[in-house]
Structure 1
Amino acid sequence: MKKSKPILLLVAFMLLPLASLKAQDISIQLGKDEVGLNELFTITVTLQNGSIKSYSDFPEIDGFAKRGTSSSSKTNIVNGQITSSQSIIQRYLPLEEGTFTLNSFTMELNGTSISSNGKTIKITPPVERRRNSRRNRFDPFDDLFGRNEPRKAPEFVDVKEDAFLALTTDKDEVYVGEGFTTTFAFYVADANRAPLQFHEAGKQLSTILKDLKPENCWEENFNIENIYGERVTIGGKNYTRYKIYQAAFYPLNLEPVVFPSVPFEMIKYRVAKSPSFFGRDREEDFKTFNTREKTVKVKALPPHPLKDAVAVGDFELDEKIDKTTVETGESFEYTFNIYGEGNIAGIPDLTIPSTKTIDIYPPNVSQDINRGSGRVTGSKQYSYFGIPNEPGDYDLKDYFGWVFFNPEKETYDTLKSTVKLKVTGESKKNVSISSTDLGSFYDNIDVASNELKNLNEDKTAQIIANLLIIAMLAGAGYLFFKK
């Protein structure tokens, strides 16, 4: 038994080099600091001891235009140890002379992030390319390997792709206000042999969405920032799905939701018919894929007095109150929180019945919306302040209730409060009356006569008074002139 330990240790040390072969290292190499107008700048991402399965878009560079990608792989055997590397090279064509900046950027390779600090690139006038004079000299080995013979242009062929573009929805028929998730994605079969690559996906999508988004729906965009591959099975066949756009839509009326056929352009490489060790193995080309038109039917909600004003979804209630026993004139805080799956932003506010027994003030409203995994969930919270005026026991369900339609159960449901409030103290009715007292003038209204009187009164007394005033003025005038 003691002898077995050295043997096990020896086996472990022998396996260490083999384990180290599987370690993967990712690096980014940037091209030259200066490139001529007739040269290409490159960014190379290299994976050591592994296979590149997926990678994100290369960055855009001011003053340059992307001119496709290529791949390369190397295998080295040194002292019996095998190392390999695979690279993706993005080529950039200079557009004008000047100095331009490649900003720092981050890429995803096989789900792992790697960053680069960028650099400053100077574009110079076209560079004169020198030919190697040795190639013009006669070399006996050139004839042997055929290097003096004129090279033939490589022939490239188009390989039929096993891929398609599709717009799918998780439901074919919905109620008005019921949400359905729409996915715009590119599918590549595991058996595909045609090299494909995304090309200006963001720019294309901004144009496509102008035609794709329905006008009769509320949209909740899932905001896909990076395109990643995920394994799916369709009809027993394995595919990698690349989601380009995903959103939940909520129909606002009974019009069918129609998604037209839209195009999307991909880079599709033509492969060399007779690959050579030193020549190019593929040539860049473009292929346009199209979706099929898709229609989602919309049906009306069942009859109900509030069918035109209710939310549609699966909701629950979470309520809180800071105290269940208060005195008249003392305030309390009550929270009515609606949460679940549906159009959270479109949830209608509660309708509170008017009452003199409790003063309920307009609420503070907050909402939280989560978009992910093909669903829109969240909550909408209403925080109320109330002041009771009369003592007694109050069932808050008489004041706080909210009706919605559940499309899964196809029934209307109501979220009602289960809180009971106990109010003690004296009635605030007299206080309320005195605060609205308008004074003694209005107090006499009830005892004042309401008999109608004629406004055409006898003016005899007024005429006599006027004559006496005139006589007095005349007497005063006479005495004044006599003196």
Structure 2
Amino acid sequence: MQVELELSAASFPVTEYFTISFRLRGAALERYSAFPDIEGFKKSGKSSTTTTRIVEGQTTTELIITQRYAAYAEGEYVVKPFTMTINGVTARSAGATLQVGPAPAANTGPAPNGGLQGIGLLDKLFGKPKPQEYVEPKDNAFMALVPDKTSVYVGEGVHIGLYFYLTPADQGLLAFYDFGGQLPAILQQLRQRTAWEEPFNEQEIVPEPVTIGGKEFLRYRLYEAEYYPLNTEPLAFPAVALRMVKYRLAKNPAEGLDNRLEGYKTYLSTARTITVKPLPPHPLRDQVPVGSYQLREAISQTTFQTGQAFTYSFGVEGEGNLAAINAPEVAPRAGLEVYGPDVRQELTRQAGRVGGRKVFTYRFVARRPGQLPLDSLLALLYFDPATGRYDTLRAEVRPTVRGPVSAATTFRAPSDDQFYQNVLFDANNTLQPLDSYRDVRRYANYILAALLAVSVWGWWRKR
């Protein structure tokens, strides 16, 4: 089996085709890879030629598959080196530099030197391919930057979605072009230096059916994020551009040919501005988190002995910028030791919303009996944009501590705690001098020297 790649002449007028062919000898065609794409050219159908020769009773067959390429315009083009696989055999081509010239002047006279009449006969037999005329149909596609609010408070989240819309009828006309290469520049334009950004996880771009003004559209989600403004400066999102592939359709479609001509069209979104309102006056408004939150509490027990350690979790759950929530400070109280908190945050981005929970876990040791009023010790002030008012989350549980007054701490870690081991709290906490280990080493050396001297004396006595 033999496989060869062939390229037609590198210089030709714009009215003629450039071709790439492969020849297959000695085997039947089973499969072959796609012909390469050439920048500046449009694939314009294929042809196949089978030649059978019988010489001295031996039959040989040669198959030629030819791909035609039509140039968009005159100029110089480069065919990069490429490979094709035919029946599992790889054929390579070094490429070429093509010169596409102007269309030749009409010539009705006889061909010079008599010409080669065989080509003219084939054209009469099969019909010479004629350049197609293409028209660009109107599409109903558009790109839009869609915020879920037009005005927000400082610290309040606004969801921004960049979408591309098209009608089901436009699916055959449009295709994405190098979207991965265009996206970084688009995101750079959308970034806001005065806002905290929580981008949604990147997803595969798939169509979602939506209805706008009673008309059916397919929506492609290109990018979405939640922005939390840090000051009263408006969030200004400029118009961004997306280049798409748009096909022109043949005016007179021909059977067996690709009756589309690839082109490009750029779509622009509309610029958007989100106004940012200051929070109502409050002494701590620069430190107050903004969001719609609820309190979720958890405590290991509700009744304890003095000197016994217990854990309490102050959980903030809801929609907002959880990263802006700081741990509530525990008001000092005589006879109460406070450790921690440990912080755990779970952030969820779903259905155009960002929320989750942030849990602060404290460890307490009460030395005095009585009811422990956690509501007066732990509280979180926040601003709720839904109501436009400040509100406070306060602990509600009031554990009871029993037993005598404990002067010394007997802190015990809970059995499920992997960090505070019992050995840590049973260890001697008496301060030791910094050179204590050096002294121990010196005394150990003295003892070893004495033992060595005794062993030498005993060996001498035995001799």
Q: Per the shorter chain, which TM-score range? A: 0.5 to 0.7
Q: 1:358 aligns with which of 330, 336, 354?
A: 336
Q: How does 1:83-98 map to 2 (within 5 A)?
A: 95-96=80-81
Pairwise CA distance, 1:331: 0.3
Q: Equivalents in 2 of 1:246, 1:68: separation in Å?
A: 36
Partners of 2:21 and 2:162 in 1: how far apart? Answer: 34
Once the 2 structures are TM-superposed, how far is the Cα of residue 272 of structure 1 from its aligned partner? 0.6
Q: Does structure 2 retain, via aligned residues, the 8 Å contact 1:181–1:246?
A: yes
Normalising by structure 1, we get a TM-score of: 0.62
- Secondary structure class of the residue paired with 1:202: helix
Identity %: 36
Separation (CA, whole Å) in 2 of partners of 1:392 and 1:71: 90
Distance 1:192 1:404, change over 3 A: same
Please list the CA deviations of residues 191-213 of structure 1 after superposition, one character each: whole Å capped at 9, or x if unmatched: 54870000111210111111111
Output the TM-score relative to the length of structure 2: 0.65
Shift, 1:220, TM fit: 1.0
From the superposition, tell whether residues 428 and 68 of structure 1 become closer, same or farther in structure 2 (CA, over 3 Å).
farther
The aligned runs of 1:142-221 (5 Å cut-off) are 143=124, 147-148=126-127, 150-190=128-168, 192=170, 195-221=173-199
The reply on whether 1:339 has 2:317 as its aligned counterpart is yes
Inter-CA distance 334–215: structure 2 relative to 1 (3 Å threshold): same
Note the C-alpha offset of 1:381.
0.9
Q: Secondary structure of the residue that 1:413 maps to in structure 2?
A: strand
Secondary structure of the residue aligned to 1:361 is strand
1:301 pairs with 2:279: yes
Structure label with greater radius of gyration: 1
Q: How far is the alpha carbon of 1:268 from its aligned partner?
A: 0.5
Secondary structure (helix, strand or coil) at the match of 1:310 reads coil
Q: 2:241 aligns with which of 244, 253, 263?
A: 263
Tell me the secondary structure at the aligned position of residue 362 of structure 1: strand
Shift of 1:176: 0.5
Distance of 1:39 and 1:166 partners within structure 2: 42
Which whole-Å deviations, capped at 9, do the CAs of 1:57-81 have from their partners, x for residues lacking one?
Answer: xxxxxx9999999999xxxxxxxxx
Aligned to 2:94: 125
CA contact (8 A) 2:327 2:341 kept: no
In the superposition, relative to structure 1, how do residues 299 and 69 fare at CA in structure 2: closer, same or farther (>3 Å)? Answer: farther
Structure 1 residues 317-358: Cα deviation after superposition (integer angstroms, max 9, x where no partner): 111111111112110011111111111222222121122321
Residue of structure 2 equivalent to 1:417: 395
Residues 420 and 134 (structure 1), Cα distance of their counterparts in 2 relative to 1, 3 Å cut: farther
C-alpha deviation, 1:124, in angstroms:
3.5
Q: Could you tell me how far 1:423 is from its partner in structure 2?
A: 1.0
Alignment partners' CA distance in 2, 1:67 and 1:413: 64
CA distance, structure 2, for counterparts of residue 428 and residue 297 of structure 1: 57
Distance 1:68 1:316, change over 3 A: farther
Residue correspondences, number: 337
Q: CA deviation at 1:389?
A: 1.6
User: Structure 1 residues 184, 416: CA separation in 2 closer, same or farther (over 3 Å shift)?
Assistant: same
Is the Cα–Cα contact under 8 Å of residues 82 and 95 in structure 2 kept in the other structure?
A: no
- TM-aligned CA deviation for residue 301 of structure 1: 1.0
What per-residue deviation string (whole Å, max 9, x for no partner) do you get for residues 302-326 of structure 1?
Answer: 1222211121111111111111111
Structure 1 pair 245–66 and aligned structure 2 pair: CA distance change class (3 A): farther
Matched letter for residue 333 of structure 2? T
1:12-411 residue pairs with structure 2 within 5 A? Answer: 95-96=80-81, 123-126=92-95, 136=119, 138=121, 143=124, 147-148=126-127, 150-190=128-168, 192=170, 195-411=173-389
Whether contact under 8 Å (1:39, 1:126) holds in the other structure is no
Residue 295 of structure 1: CA displacement? 0.2
CA distance in 2, matches of 1:382, 1:370: 18
Q: What is the deviation of 1:291?
A: 1.0
**Distance in structure 2 (CA, Å) of the matches to 1:239 and 1:123:** 45
For residue 126 of structure 2, what is the amino acid of its counterpart? R
* Residues 94 and 222 (structure 1), Cα distance of their counterparts in 2 relative to 1, 3 Å cut: farther
Q: Is the 8 A contact 1:328 1:389 kept in 2?
A: yes
State which drifts further: 393-402 or 257-266.
393-402
How far off is 1:398 after superposition? Answer: 1.2
CA 1:163 to 1:70, structure 2 compared with 1: closer, same or farther past 3 Å?
farther
C-alpha distance in structure 1 between counterparts of 2:90 and 2:387, whole Å: 63
CA distance in 1, matches of 2:245, 2:169: 18
Aligned to 2:451: none
Structure 1 residues 154, 253: closer, same or farther in 2, change over 3 A?
same
- Once the two structures are TM-superposed, the CA of residue 173 in structure 1 deviates from its matched residue by 0.2
CA contact (8 A) 2:42 2:261 kept: no
Q: AA paired with 2:193?
A: E
Letter in 1 for 2:306: T
Partner of residue 102, structure 2: none
Query: 1:252: how far off?
Result: 0.6
Contact 1:341 1:376 in 2 (8 A): yes
Matched residue, 2:449 = none
In angstroms, what is the RMSD of aligned CA positions? Answer: 3.8
Q: What amino acid does structure 2 have at the position aligned with 1:405?
A: F
Q: 188-197 or 216-225, which moves further after superposition?
A: 188-197
8 A contact 1:178–1:251 mirrored in 2:
yes
Distance 1:147 1:97, change over 3 A: closer
- Secondary structure at the counterpart of residue 399 of structure 2: strand
Output the amino acid matched with 1:353.
Answer: A
Change (3 A) 1:64 1:383: farther
Give the partner amino acid of 2:205. Answer: I
Over 3 Å counting, the alpha-carbon distance change for 1:399 and 1:289 in structure 2 is same
Quickly say closer, same or farther: Cα 1:382–1:35, change in 2 above 3 A.
farther
SS of 2:186's partner is: helix
Give the 3-state SS of the residue equivalent to 2:126 in structure 1.
coil
Contact 2:80 2:94 (8 Å CA) reproduced: no
Q: How many angstroms apart in 2 are the aligned matches of 1:120 and 1:333?
A: 71
The answer as to whether partners of 2:134 and 2:248 remain within 8 angstroms in 1 is yes
